[in-house]
Amino acid sequence: MLSVICESPGVLRAQERELPVPAKGEVLLRVSRVGICGTDLHIFTGTQPYLQYPRVMGHELSAVVVEAERASGLAAGDGVYVMPYLSCGNCIACRQGKTNCCVNIKVLGVHSDGALTEYLCVPAEFVHKAEGVTLDQAAMLEFLAIGAHAVRRADVQAGQRVLVVGAGPIGMAAMIFAKLRGANVTSLDTRADRLSFCEKELRVDAVVTVGDDDTDQLARLTDGEFFDAVFDATGNIDAMNRGFGFIAHGGKYTLISIVPGTVAFSDPEFHKREATLLASRNATAQDFETVLEAMRAGHIPDQALNTHRMQLADVPAEFARLLEPGQTVVKALVEC
C-alpha cells in the first residue's frame, strides 16, 4: 500500500508499505479522504510539540470498512468516520466523559501513524458509521467538531455577541456553530481574503481587520460593551494575550489555540470584569453528533469549505503549496 511519510520537517516521501493486519478489536479501513489541518502543517514545518519523526500524518478522515469483527456493529463496505483521539477510558477525564482531554490520549497522525495511507487499522470503538453524509463530508467532521465543542464549552446563547479571533478552519467552525445558536458573530483576522470568505460563505454579522484601530471598531460594534464570548483560534500567543481586552463584563474567553507560550493578562482587569477563562481541546462524540445533525440539515457550507484537493501520490510534491501566501486554503482534502 502507498503511504506518505513526513521524515523530518519539510521532507515528505511516498513509500510502499505492507498492508496492516488488524489486531483483536481493530477495524481494517480503506482510507477514502483525509483533511489537511493546522496540526499537519505544524508537523511539516517542525512546530508540533508532541511529535517524533518520522510520522504518517493525518487525523481527519473518512474510510470504507474492509474487515471488522461482528461485535463491532460494522461490516465490510460501511462508510465511516474516525474519532482520532484514542482515549484510555479509565483516567479521571474519561470517567467524567471528557475523553477529549484524556490523560493518556493518543492522537492518530501525531502520537501514532495516521491516515495519509491507503489502509489503516483503528480500534473499533473509535470508528462510526457515516450515515446520511458523503465521504467528503465525513472527512470534514473533525475540525468542525472542534469548533462545535468550543461553542458548547462557552455555552453560547441566542442574541449574545461573539468574537472569533482567527479566521482559519477552526475559527470558521466556531463561527458556524455560534451562528447556529443564534449569536451575533464578528470575525477578527489579519487577512482580507479570509474575512471576505466569512462574510460571503458563513454569513457572519461583521468582520474587522487587525490594525491600529481594530479595538475602536470592535467597541463601536458593541456600543462599547465588547463581547459576551470571545474565542481565540489564531495559534499566536500575542493574539491570545490581547484577546483578554475584548471580553465584556461577565463574559467568557475560550482558548482553542494551543501554543508553546505563556498566557498573561492583567489580574485587576480580569477580576473587574468577573471574566471566565476556558480552554477547549479536541471534541467528544457529542460534538461529532452535533456536526452530523447540522450537515444532514444542510446547515454546513461544506462544498465552499473544501477549497483544495489532491491525490495521495501527489502529496509530497503539492503539500508545500498549501502554505503559500494567496492560496486561501480553508480545507484541503486528499483523495486516497
| Complete DSSP assignment for 96-158 | TT-GGG-TT-EEBTTTB--SSBSEEEEEGGGEEE-TTS-HHHHHTHHHHHHHHHHHHHTT--T
227 contacts 162 by C-beta, under 8 angstroms = yes
pLDDT at residue 253 greater than cutoff 90 = yes
pLDDT in tens, 68-110: 999 999 999 999 999 999 999 999 999 999 999 999 999 999 9
Alpha helices in the chain (DSSP H): 38-45, 92-95, 135-139, 141-153, 169-180, 192-201, 214-221, 237-242, 267-272, 285-296, 302-305, 315-318
Characterize the bridge pairing of strands 306-311 and 331-335: parallel
pLDDT at residue 258 greater than cutoff 90 = no
Q: Do domains 2-140+300-335 and 147-279 have the same CATH topology?
A: no
- Residue 45 vs residues 8, 115, 195, 233, 319: alpha-carbon distances, Å: 9, 19, 25, 19, 11
Instruction: In whole angstroms, give the CA distance from residue 83 to residue 103.
Output: 17
0.85 cut: is pTM over it?
A: yes
SS3 of residue 35 by DSSP: strand
Is residue 301 reached through a cis peptide bond, with omega within 30 degrees of 0 on the bond before it?
Answer: no
pLDDT of residue 328: 87
pLDDT at residue 240 greater than cutoff 80 = yes
pLDDT of residue 16: 97
pLDDT at residue 158 greater than cutoff 80 = yes
pLDDT of residue 234: 95
CATH number, span 147-279: 3.40.50.720
220-246: average pLDDT: 97
Q: Among the CATH numbers 3.90.1170.50, 3.90.1310.10, 3.90.180.10, 3.50.50.60, which is that of 2-140+300-335?
A: 3.90.180.10
Q: Which of 129-143, 170-184, 256-270 has the lowest mean pLDDT?
A: 256-270
* Packing angle, helices 285-296 and 141-153, rounded to 10: 110
pLDDT at residue 210 greater than cutoff 90 = yes
pLDDT at residue 38 greater than cutoff 90 = no
Domain boundaries, the chain: 2-140+300-335, 147-279
214-232: average pLDDT: 98
pLDDT of residue 206: 99
Cell of 52: 517524533
Please name every residue paired with 189 in a beta bridge, in sequence order, or none if there are none: 209
pLDDT of residue 326: 80
Q: How does residue 51 score in pLDDT terms, banded at 50, 70 and 90?
A: confident
pLDDT at residue 173 greater than cutoff 90 = yes
14-40: average pLDDT: 97
pLDDT of residue 21: 97
Cell of 148: 462545535
pLDDT of residue 298: 98
Q: Which of 37-41, 102-106, 201-205, 297-301 has the lowest mean pLDDT?
A: 37-41
27-51: average pLDDT: 92
Instruction: In whole angstroms, give the CA distance from residue 275 to residue 155.
Output: 14
**Of 260 and 84, the one with more pLDDT:** 84
246 contacts 181 by C-beta, under 8 angstroms = no
